Chain A
């Protein structure tokens, strides 16, 4: 510690160490800069611009934000849309995670080991088709004269026709169908990481099958569940397509007929020439997402620390 030489000599390097290895960071750095940092900074920056004669002018003005927050819950109803979005995203994440967990559990525990890869592949097959295509298919299924209602009519139950299209329930259905394949993979991997001996040990100690699930499998899946749920929330918050195509822009919900926030950003972008304002709206969504992500991280980390 007190020797003089150590401060003078160069740090020890093994013969296999190369000073060039720092360049292996380059692909990551370039990727992050081009596809993440620059667009993000650009978006945040434009949010402070202002519009003069239908032209965006670089500036550092808080005008856009002042304008948005002035009518957050009244005229423009951005705030209500944000609440709508959060509500749709959280409930979507809840149901998507539970459904995907059940699928992942049945693949991991009910399918023989040699068929599990195939079962997983089939379970995530919807991921191979286009998202928009899947939304249009749901439209034909859910619409007023769609598949469900036609079948009901065939059985003489025309009075019980259900109107799902253009509600936020339809938005959720589209989102869940979109998210499930990814969540199934996340959850399947986390279930696979559970040592099977622990399940046998639980049974041997007197657990019924159900207790082995609630006492061992579920607690040890907690990290995977948290990861899947926060992923689902983030994706649902940012998605405008399902809300537009199945929710009809402003879908019926328990809060009333309201679009999701992402839909609002999209219509704001296409209906006005005020790009700085749209950027400011998008920035607000990003802040909400970061907060949601942080909450998810904390929850997942707690789950992980409890299980390691």
Chain B
């Protein structure tokens, strides 16, 4: 792609909206993807992430908004002339062509030099580890091999941006981890921007430079994985990402980098540099592994009286479900060496520094 003024962004979305009849699948999305950035778009099914990806690929036309690839407006460029390539969820490989034929497909559509195409196909097969399978039929490949062919077929055309639609969802857990590593390696090696759509948190957080969480057609939060995990900004993200406890309450008092929140089960102190004004409805968010059981806590920590209701065994640790005095459910992650007894009252603590505030509780 040639552009008059080189843009610092590979991809730029300006209030992209897609309506299907009366239903808004994608609701004024704004997003900028930097050069060679790996961005994961995550959300529950029906959140609009796949529709958004199809708009980027040119398979759907946005109802309104602008789309720029490397600074060039491509909103009206038809699918076959876009400089993006999509890796399909179920690979969509051509059954009438062998592995080499599938990889070469995109290169043979225009006038081409056979030797150059063969060279590119071979180099790409080496990159994704398919060199020994070039003559195989698609039906003779395993899931992981098909995945590699799909990737090679897209990458060999040297797109500006690679779009991936749940590419690993059909693979078993073991292979998925291996492919995650490999995707990241290839992405780094090519320095190509990847837009990776998934409903799988682990995939998104393991690979991406930045994660976009979508819900009901709009973006809830864009952040680096660690920041998203540590500081969810909306109730939806707090519930969707990680294992968080949310206590609805109202700001009672502010000062000294702290806020005191009045919750149904009592007062909670939260460290914050930017407290909302007194009276604001908020959620106090505490990660499940930041809760500690002890008869006595450190001075200044928040104390909760609870009853242990159930235990979920997860190998190295247990996830306990507890009820607070007012009936609020709390999840707590503890290592196996710290067992709790079911149906016994206990006291749990958490530091104000480990709690975060989200505006929005009624």
Interface residues in chain A, defined as those with a beta carbon under 8 Å from any beta carbon in chain B: 195, 197-198, 200-208, 211, 215-216, 219-220, 222, 306-308
A216 to B106, CA, bound (A): 12
Smallest CB–CB gap between B248 and chain A, Å?
44
Contact indicator A206/B88 (Cβ below 8 Å): no
Contact indicator B92/A201 (Cβ below 8 Å): yes
User: How many CB-defined contacts (below 8 Å) exist between A and B?
Assistant: 59
Which of B80, B88, B139, B154 contacts A203 (CB under 8 A)?
B80
A65 to B85, CA, bound (A): 66
Contact indicator A206/B95 (Cβ below 8 Å): no
Interface residues in chain B, defined as those with a beta carbon under 8 Å from any beta carbon in chain A: 57-59, 79-82, 85-86, 88, 90, 92, 94-96, 105-106, 109-110, 137, 139, 153-154, 157
| Closest B residue to A222 using CB positions | B96
Q: Which interface residue of A200, A205, A220 has the most chain B CB atoms within 10 A?
A: A205
Q: Which residues of A contact B92 (CB under 8 A)?
A: 195, 197-198, 200-201
Given contacts A205-B109, A211-B109, contact A220 B96 (CB under 8 A): yes
A220 to B92, CA, bound (A): 14
A202 to B109, CA, bound (A): 10
Contact indicator A307/B96 (Cβ below 8 Å): yes
Top 3 A-B pairs, shortest CB-CB distance: A201-B92, A205-B106, A219-B96
Q: Which residues of A contact B85 (CB under 8 A)?
A: 204-205
Q: Which residues of A contact B79 (CB under 8 A)?
A: 203-204
Contact indicator B57/A204 (Cβ below 8 Å): yes
Contact indicator A307/B57 (Cβ below 8 Å): no
Q: Which residues of B contact A198 (CB under 8 A)?
A: 92, 94-95
Contact indicator B95/A204 (Cβ below 8 Å): no
Which of B80, B110, B139 contacts A204 (CB under 8 A)?
B80
Q: Which residues of B contact A215 (CB under 8 A)?
A: 105, 109
Contact indicator A206/B109 (Cβ below 8 Å): yes
Smallest CB–CB gap between B155 and chain A, Å?
12
Smallest CB–CB gap between A301 and chain B, Å?
14
A197 to B153, CA, bound (A): 15
Q: Which residues of A contact B137 (CB under 8 A)?
A: 308
Contact indicator B139/A308 (Cβ below 8 Å): yes
A201 to B106, CA, bound (A): 10
Given contacts A197-B88, A215-B105, contact A205 B157 (CB under 8 A): yes
Can you list 20 contacts pairing A with B, beta carbon distance less than 8 Å? A197-B88, A198-B94, A198-B95, A200-B92, A201-B92, A202-B94, A203-B59, A204-B82, A204-B86, A205-B105, A205-B106, A205-B109, A205-B153, A205-B154, A206-B80, A206-B110, A206-B157, A211-B109, A216-B96, A222-B96
